């Protein structure tokens, strides 16, 4: 999976040895531009509302690049492109022309509504017009948005003293009547019947969803085991019984088109270990988890994927309202994957759950979609415990898309655990993924590991933290022994959560189990664009960085900034910083005595 490089053959290297290992990788003979193919291949196209035609008193609200970021979340900072259209009065509207080339029979509208005065959200419709003619009323809700960070009661309480964030939600709709042809217009309009005090419209996805898939030959249908596709009776036990039979007989387990209610009666995870489970497509088959609220730590709704599992072509959704707090808000993992024997997850759409928590050996997740998670979109990890089924080795994450994550969009997280006995994550490749508008944490994160590759990913519009954070997480986190970050396009980042930047490179601190270790990273051929603060920020404490062929375009502050008190080395070749704001500098090294930089061909030389 991940290609070898000199760092992968070395143990935890620091000091001169680590510097030599990084330098051995060298720099490309000629600087290259970031990949023209960064990001996931997806079957939809997205249009930003801020680029539409406004009607009535509708207004565009946007964060102005270069202005102070502030220390709290805003509608602007959580929007894609840091801009939105606000509809407040009857007659306000925004019109988008379908320039996607797609004959769209489905739309996903990303929007925000106000919270209710005492929390819990509101529900209201918004009218959809096609080519000026009314087509359908779209039902929107803020029931699963609005978390109040730092409050003293619970995360949904607006009176607990917390600061609000998580404003937006993805709302999927099947278009009533004829598909929306290329060149047609859609209008989202607040009419008299649309009763929310205001609507913030971020963007719209246009997609031609395929017809439901046909039943696989020789498959077992969950309906034959009593599952209900009409969402009337709980199907948890029926689905599990079908999976058990499919595993025993070596047959595919089939979930026909429909919506299946699960976990309304008991908190027992569905276990798909060793089974092939397929739905009719992510627009057609939904497994919806509805535990009682408030829930508890013992009431589990996650889906377990284990050795030999093949899961595909369905949607997983839930009624969860927040993460943590002993799982009172019911946000459990969308999928918890593990197993030394490998597994595959393809074309699965997860919504309103905690992270896709991915461990094991030889796992692959591709062409999946995550919307409005309460945790990471996709997190590859070693589960913080010493377990041969949870190593996080030889993993591939490709062509996946997340929007609105409640933690890192895509993360690799290697942790020694409280005992210090867990194994270091090895040989993980994260490539050609798209991470858009996480409302908390980073677009991408590498937290420890050996032979980690992040290639050709696209990040856009991070709200609180960095477009990518490279280094370590927590006191027990393993150091980053070796990583290659190449060909990524990183737009925005440097948000409101403390002082953040487009790219942040950091290392273990004094409290870490690995306090003397270095972060070792090769950072090449990336485009870092429109960072809200510095483009590339090298942070405390010990780092060895090879950086070549990168472009930092239009940062709000410095292009490349090495803060004070950093130790290590940098081999910088053929990097450029362009379109600086007035008064900013391309390059600054405030640790020149301890962080030694060599190289040539950079735009600041």
Task: Confirm whether 120 is domain-assigned.
Answer: yes
What range defines the domain where residue 150 resides?
Answer: 44-207
CA 131 to chain centre: 34
Band (pLDDT 50/70/90 cuts) for residue 324 is confident
Sequence-distant (6+) residues with CB within 8 A of 178 are none
402 contact partners, CB below 8 Å, separation of at least 6: 369, 370, 371, 373, 377, 378, 409, 410, 433, 434, 435, 436, 438
pLDDT digits (tens, 9 = 90+) for 471-480: 999 999 999 9
pLDDT at res. 470: 98
The whole-angstrom separation of Cα 408 and Cα 111 is 21
Q: Let me know if residue 62 belongs to a domain.
A: yes
Which DSSP category does 241 fall into?
A: H
Gap between the Cα atoms of 525 and 523, Å rounded: 7
Q: How far apart are CA 65 and CA 125, in angstroms?
A: 33
Distances (CA, A) of 151 to 147, 148, 165, 201, 325: 9, 6, 12, 27, 12
The answer to the question of residue 51 being in a domain is: yes
pLDDT higher than 80, residue 15: no
**Domain-located, residue 476:** no
CB-CB contact of 415 with 448 (8 Å): yes
Number of residues assigned to the chain: 605
Asked if residue 40 lies in contact with residue 399, where contact means CB atoms within 8 angstroms, the answer is yes
Using CA atoms, how far residue 489 sits from 28, 290, 470, in Å, is 18, 38, 15
Non-local (6+) Cβ contacts of 97 within 8 A are: 183, 184, 185
**Residue 104 gets which letter from DSSP?**
B
- The answer on pLDDT for 56 being more than 70 is yes
pLDDT digits (tens, 9 = 90+) for 372-397: 999 999 999 999 999 999 999 999 99
Confidence bin at 37 (pLDDT 50/70/90): confident
Average pLDDT of the chain is 94
How far apart CA 162 and CA 187 sit, in angstroms, is: 35
Whether 515 has a pLDDT exceeding 70, the answer reads yes
Q: What is the C-alpha to C-alpha distance for residues 257 and 259, in angstroms, rounded to an integer?
A: 7
Tokens representing residue 98 in the block: 């379908």
pLDDT tens-place string over residues 536-556: 999 999 999 999 999 999 999
> Residue with structure tokens 């461990």?
359
Structure token digits, residue 231: 């969402």
Question: Is residue 326 a contact partner of residue 294, using CB atoms and an 8 Å limit?
Answer: no
What tokens appear for 487 in the block?
A: 């060909």
pLDDT at 501 over 90: yes
Q: Which tokens go with 57?
A: 């008193």
Confidence at residue 4, expressed as pLDDT on a 0 to 100 scale: 27
Structure tokens at 32: 């290259």
Q: What is the band of 20 on the pLDDT scale with cuts at 50, 70, 90?
A: very low
Q: Is residue 389 domain-resident?
A: no
- In angstroms, the Cα distances linking 536 to 443, 531, 545, 561 are 14, 9, 12, 6
Residue 230 located in a structural domain: no
In a domain, 506, yes or no: no
Mean pLDDT, residues 245-252: 98
* Domain count for the chain: 1
Is 24's pLDDT higher than 70? no
Phi, psi values for residue 239, rounded to 5°: -65, -45
Position 214 scores a pLDDT of: 98
Residue 435 confidence (pLDDT) above 50: yes
Tell me, what's the pLDDT at 174?
A: 98
pLDDT of residue 510: 94
Q: Is the pLDDT of residue 36 over 70?
A: no
Cis peptide bond N-terminal to 294, omega within 30: yes
CB atoms under 10 Å from CB of 50, counted, come to 20
* Residue 458 located in a structural domain: no
State pLDDT tens for residues 128-159. 999 999 999 999 999 999 999 999 999 999 99
Q: Which pLDDT does position 576 carry in this prediction?
A: 98
The domain that holds 161 is classified in CATH as 2.60.120.260
Stated as kind and residue range, the H or E segment containing 242 is: helix 236-249
């Amino acid at each position: 999976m991940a290609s070898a490089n000199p760092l992968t053959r070395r143990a935890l290297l620091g000091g001169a040895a680590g510097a030599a290992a990084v330098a051995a990788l060298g720099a490309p003979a000629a600087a290259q531009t970031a990949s023209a193919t960064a990001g996931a291949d997806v079957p939809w196209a997205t249009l930003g509302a801020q680029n539409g035609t406004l009607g009535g008193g509708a207004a565009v609200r946007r964060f102005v690049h270069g202005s102070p970021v502030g220390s709290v979340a805003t509608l602007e900072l959580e929007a894609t492109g840091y801009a939105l259209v606000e509809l407040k009065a009857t007659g306000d509207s925004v019109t988008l022309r379908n320039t996607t080339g797609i004959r769209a029979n489905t739309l996903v509208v990303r929007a925000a509504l106000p919270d209710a005065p005492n929390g819990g959200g509101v529900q209201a419709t918004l009218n959809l017009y096609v080519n000026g003619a009314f087509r359908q009323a779209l039902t929107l809700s803020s029931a699963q948005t609005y978390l109040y960070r730092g409050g003293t009661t619970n995360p949904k309480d607006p009176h607990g003293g917390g600061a609000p964030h998580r404003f937006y939600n993805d709302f999927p709709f099947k278009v009533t009547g004829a598909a929306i042809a290329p060149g047609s217009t859609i209008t989202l309009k607040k009419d008299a019947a649309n009763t929310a005090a205001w609507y913030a419209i971020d963007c719209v996805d246009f997609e031609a969803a395929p017809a439901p898939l046909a039943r696989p030959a020789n498959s077992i249908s969950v309906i034959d085991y009593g599952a209900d596709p009409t969402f009337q009776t709980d199907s948890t036990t029926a689905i599990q019984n079908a999976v058990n039979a499919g595993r025993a007989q070596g047959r595919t387990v089939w979930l026909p088109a429909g919506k299946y209610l699960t976990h309304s009666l008991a908190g027992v995870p569905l276990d798909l270990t060793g089974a092939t489970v397929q739905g009719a497509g992510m627009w057609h088959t939904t497994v919806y988890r509805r535990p009682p609220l408030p829930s508890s730590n013992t009431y589990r709704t996650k889906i377990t994927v284990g050795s030999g599992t093949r899961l595909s072509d369905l949607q997983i959704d839930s009624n969860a309202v927040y993460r943590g707090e002993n799982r009172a808000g019911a946000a459990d993992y969308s999928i918890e994957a593990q197993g030394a024997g490998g597994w595959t997850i393809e074309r699965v759409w997860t919504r309103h759950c905690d992270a896709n928590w991915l461990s094991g050996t030889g796992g692959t997740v591709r062409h999946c979609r995550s919307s409005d998670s309460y945790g990471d979109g996709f997190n590859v990890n070693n589960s913080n415990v010493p377990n041969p089924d949870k190593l996080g080795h030889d993993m591939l994450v490709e062509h996946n898309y997340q929007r609105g994550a409640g933690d890192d969009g895509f993360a690799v997280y290697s942790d020694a655990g409280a005992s210090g006995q867990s194994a270091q994550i090895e040989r993980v490749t994260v490539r050609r993924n798209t991470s858009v508008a996480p409302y908390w944490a980073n677009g991408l994160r590498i937290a420890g590991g050996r032979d980690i590759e992040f290639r050709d990913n696209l990040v856009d519009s991070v709200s609180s933290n960095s477009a990518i954070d490279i280094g370590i997480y927590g006191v027990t986190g393993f150091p980053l022994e070796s990583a290659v970050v190449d060909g990524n396009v990183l737009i925005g980042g440097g948000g409101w959560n403390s002082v953040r930047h487009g790219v942040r490179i950091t290392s273990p601190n004094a409290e870490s189990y690995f306090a003397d270790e270095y972060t070792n990273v090769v950072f090449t051929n990336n485009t870092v664009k429109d960072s809200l603060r510095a483009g590339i920020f090298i942070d405390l404490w010990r780092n060895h960085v090879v950086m070549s062929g990168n472009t930092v375009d239009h940062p709000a502050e410095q292009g490349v900034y090495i803060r004070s008190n950093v130790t290590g080395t940098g081999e910088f070749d053929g990097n450029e910083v362009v379109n600086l704001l007035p008064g900013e500098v391309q390059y600054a090294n405030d640790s020149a005595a301890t962080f030694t930089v060599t190289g040539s061909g950079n735009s600041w030389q």
